[in-house]
Chain A
Amino acid sequence: MNLTFKRKLVLLYFLLVPLSFFAAEPFRDWKNQNSKFKPIEAQLLEYSEAFDRKKFSKYYQDWLEEAGIDSDILPGVKLRVKIPQGRKKEPAEERDYEVPLAVLSESDKDYILDWHWLRQREDFFRKCLKVVLGEPRDIRTERPRLDDGQDPPPLDDLIYLRNGSRKRGTVINNNYSIHTPYGEFVVGKGRLAAVQFEVDEAGRSVLTGVNSNRLSGFLDLPGEANVNEPNFLVFESNNGQESVRKEEVSRIIFQVREDELDGLGTEGSVSLRLANGDYLDAKVYEGELPVGGRSVKVSEVDRVEVANGQASVFYKDGGRDNWAFAEEDLPLALDLGPAFSVYHGHLKKMYCDTAFRPLGFLIEASSERDVSISFDRDAPGRVRSPSSSSNYYGILEEGDKIVSINREMPDFESRDNSFDKAVDDLFDKKEPLPKVEIGIQRGENQFFLITLVRKQGDDV
Chain B
Amino acid sequence: MNPSIFKMRLLSVLVFALPVFSVSGEEDFRQWRYFNDADMGEGKLLEYNTAYPLEDLTKEIQLTEDRIKWLQEQGQSGDFVRVVKLTLKVPPKPKEPDAKPDPKAEPELVDVTYPFAYFSSADQEYVMDWDWLRQREPFFKKCLHIVLGEERGIRKSRPEPEPKFDVIYLRDGSKKRGIVQNTSFSLHAKYGRFAVSRDKLSAVQFGDGKGGHDLLVGVNNNRLSGIIDLPADSGVGVTANHLVTTNESGQSETIRKEKLSRIIFRVRPDELTDLNLDGSALVRLKNGDAFDARVSGGEFKIGTRRIAAAQVSSVEVIEGRANLIMKSGGKEIGDFSEADLPMELALGPSINVYRAYVGQIYCDSNFRPVGKILTASEPRVLTLSFERDKPGVLRSVSRSSVYYEVLEKGDRIISIDGRIPDFDSKDTTYELILESLFEDKTATYFVLDVERDGFTFSVTVRATNG
Contacts and interface: CB of A to CB of B under 8 A. Distances in A.
Interface of A: 179-181, 198, 200-204, 216-218, 245, 247-248, 275-277, 328, 343, 345-346
Contact of B188 (A218, A248, A276): A218
B339 interface: yes
Interface in B180-218: 188-190, 209-213
B238 to A, nearest CB: 16
A343 B242 CA distance: 12
B212 A218 contact: yes
Contacts of A277: 210
B356 A202 contact: no
Interface in B305-360: 339, 354, 356-357
A245 B354 contact: yes
Given A179-B188, A181-B227, A202-B287, A217 B212 contact: yes
Contacts of A248: 356
A275 B211 CA distance: 10
Nearest to A328: B256
B129 interface: no
Interface of B: 188-190, 209-213, 225-227, 256, 258-259, 286-288, 339, 354, 356-357
A198 B190 contact: yes
Contact of B339 (A181, A245, A346): A245
A179 B259 contact: no
Contacts of A198: 190
Contacts of B211: 179-181, 202, 204, 216-218, 276
Nearest to A231: B354
A202 B258 contact: no
Nearest to B212: A202
B357 A247 contact: yes
B211 to A, nearest CB: 4
Contacts of A181: 209-211, 227
A242 B461 CA distance: 46
A374 B258 CA distance: 40
A343 B356 contact: no
A116 B258 CA distance: 53
A200 B258 contact: no
B212 A203 contact: yes
Contact of A201 (B188, B258, B259, B287): B287
Contacts of A203: 189-190, 212, 226, 287
Centre residue among A217, A277, A346 by max chain B CB count within 10 A: A217
Given A217-B227, A345-B259, A275 B190 contact: no
5 contacts: A201-B288, A204-B211, A216-B210, A218-B226, A345-B258
A380 to B, nearest CB: 32
Contacts of A218: 188-190, 211-212, 226-227
The 10 nearest A-B residue pairs measured at CB: A203-B190, A202-B212, A181-B211, A276-B210, A345-B258, A204-B212, A179-B188, A218-B188, A247-B354, A217-B211
B225 A202 contact: yes
A201 B286 CA distance: 8
Given A218-B226, A328-B256, A345-B258, A200 B212 contact: yes
A244 to B, nearest CB: 11
A179 B190 CA distance: 11
A179 B356 contact: no
Contacts of B356: 247-248
B256 A345 contact: yes
A189 to B, nearest CB: 22
Chain B CB within 10 A, most for which of A198, A202, A275: A202
B339 to A, nearest CB: 6
Given A201-B287, A202-B287, A343 B256 contact: yes
A103 B213 CA distance: 67
Contacts of A179: 188, 211, 227
B230 to A, nearest CB: 13
Contacts of B287: 201-203
Given A203-B189, A345-B256, 12 more contacts: A179-B227, A181-B210, A181-B227, A198-B190, A202-B225, A216-B210, A218-B188, A218-B190, A218-B226, A245-B339, A346-B209, A346-B258
Contacts of B190: 198, 202-203, 218
Nearest to A277: B210
Contacts of A200: 212
A202 B357 contact: no
Nearest to B211: A181
B213 A276 contact: no
A436 to B, nearest CB: 26
A343 B255 CA distance: 13
Nearest to B320: A163
A404 B249 CA distance: 61
A198 B226 CA distance: 12
Nearest to A343: B258
Nearest to B214: A181
Contacts of B354: 245, 247
Contacts of A201: 286-288
Nearest to B355: A247
A345 B256 CA distance: 10
Contacts of A275: 209-210
A245 B288 CA distance: 22
A330 B416 CA distance: 45
A245 B339 CA distance: 9
Contacts of B288: 201
Contacts of A328: 256
Nearest to A180: B211
Among B227, B288, B357, find the residue whose CB has the most chain A CB atoms closer than 10 A: B227
Contacts of A216: 210-211
Nearest to A181: B211
A277 B210 CA distance: 8
Contacts of A345: 209, 256, 258-259
